[in-house]
A and B are shown apart, each in its own frame.
Chain A
Amino acid sequence: MAAELKSGEMVVSQGDKVVRSYLMNEPCDVSVVVEQGAQCVYHILCGGELQSDVKFVLKKDSCLKLILVDVARGTSQVNVNIELADSGARFEFNGLYIVGRGERKDVVLDVKHLVADCYSSELMKGIAAEDGVGRFHGRIYVAQDAQRTEAYQQSRNLLLNNSARIFTEPQLEIYADDVKCSHGAVVGQIEDEAVYYMRQRGIDEKAARNLLTEGFASEIVWQIEDEQYAEQVHDAIEERLSEI
């Protein structure tokens, strides 16, 4: 079962392999140290109006996979801070938000490559409906000594109508010279061709649009490594999409 995420400090011990699933139902300030060689998966599902800070420090050869899903009603901001503090650390991020009428969602992701030979990859997805406003600010910082860094960022977004807004702000600050970094951002709408294709098979337009929107979100759900929790997240997404 997923636990409530509370403010405080956590440690993933050296060499541990853990999968942790959380519900973030209130504002919190969380700090996690991932010790040497540890491999962990953190799932965080946001549950309401909040502003939270989540910080991870990754030690040597550790690995963190973070999945952040904010599909709750209301306005919220989640700040995620990642420090790749020793060589061989790996960070993978999958994020999703859905923002609807009268709401605003902010995800601020700050990934710092402080030393050489670390890896990070981020995929952030946003869905905005009605007059909802979504914003993803993704910074990748590569320190001068952080040679042979690999850092990739993707921001993919879906506007469900013309009054919705999404701001996607990549920010790459690179001081090392031997790096592989890339970023990309797409803001699009549901493809008419896909809707037509589905309707030609007998699916009505509304169902086709819903399935396509769900499909867009499901890529993130597929990353979840806790089956029961994945179902819970899937249900939350489905419920939210049925309202907007």
Chain B
Amino acid sequence: MQKEIILNVEDLRASVEGKEILQGINFKVAAGEVHAIMGPNGSGKSTFASVLAGNPKYDHISGKAEYMGKDILDMSIEDRAREGLFLGFQYPVEIPGVSMSNFMRLAVNEQRKYRGEEPLTAAQFLKLMRERAAVVELDAKLMNRAVNSGFSGGEKKRNEIFQMAMLQPKLALLDETDSGLDIDALRIVATGVNNLRSEENGIVLITHYQRLLDYIVPDYVHVLYKGRIIYSGDKELSLKLEKEGYDWLIKEYESK
């Protein structure tokens, strides 16, 4: 049986402040797949995730990005999210004065409303929040604190995975969720991601390090360089990159 295509990106080009960062990306995610995108600094990894999420800082030049068969580049940021696209931020934003629980309740209920579902009652929401916070071993006390304010680096990253667990996205883009984590936090984050992994959804891990991929084993590994995917392989590729770096790939690419 043909697997459902969640994301289909063709020749996508995008710029920031007039500078072209994505120079023709082709990328496909089918249901049940985990993809890792690696590559040297400045190759466009975060830009790619941001463009898919709809960050207004980036301008779409040409090419297409279809999500569940719809052109997402035409959709508002919030509608992309409500359609089940989730971005785990590399730098989660602090929101003083807005408590985690208020923020999440609004987010969950806005998404339910979009799908024509009744809002969760306070009791249902609390129960869900406690369950999901436990998955990433996030202290329930943090739920009464302002979003990300005064959270440690590790707590911020676990909070991203907690939000993902609350929202149960169809497609999760995790932008360097592993950077800055110690080994325990990394294991916790990976457990959270693996819990979400299913035959119905897709996960894209943007990472610098092979070590995350020891915990979340990807089906495909891609190398992004100068705004293009220059090489794709399987898990073995990330091991080779870990040992040998990107130079051999870049040389091969530039000689073409």
Contacts and interface: CB of A to CB of B under 8 A. Distances in A.
Interface of A: 191-194, 196-205, 207, 211-212, 214-219
Interface of B: 53-56, 76-78, 80-82, 86-87, 89, 92-98, 102-104, 106-107, 110-111, 114, 146, 163, 167
Contacts of A191: 93
Given A196-B56, A197-B89, A205 B98 contact: no
Nearest to A211: B98
A201 B80 CA distance: 9
Nearest to B111: A202
A217 B98 CA distance: 10
A58 to B, nearest CB: 29
B97 A201 contact: no
B81 A215 contact: no
Main secondary structure of the interface of A (DSSP, over half): helix
A215 B93 contact: no
Contacts of B111: 202
A205 B146 contact: no
Contacts of B56: 192, 196
B92 A197 contact: yes
Report which residue of A204, A207, A217 has the largest number of chain B beta carbons within 10 angstroms of its beta carbon.
A204
A201 B106 CA distance: 9
Report which residue of A197, A202, A204 has the largest number of chain B beta carbons within 10 angstroms of its beta carbon.
A202
Contacts of B163: 201
A199 B81 contact: yes
A202 B92 CA distance: 16
Nearest to B102: A211
B82 A202 contact: yes
A199 B97 contact: no
15 contacts: A194-B95, A196-B55, A197-B92, A198-B95, A199-B54, A199-B77, A200-B80, A202-B114, A203-B78, A203-B106, A211-B102, A211-B103, A215-B98, A215-B146, A219-B96
A199 B111 CA distance: 11
A187 to B, nearest CB: 16
Given A207-B106, A211-B103, A212-B98, A202 B55 contact: no
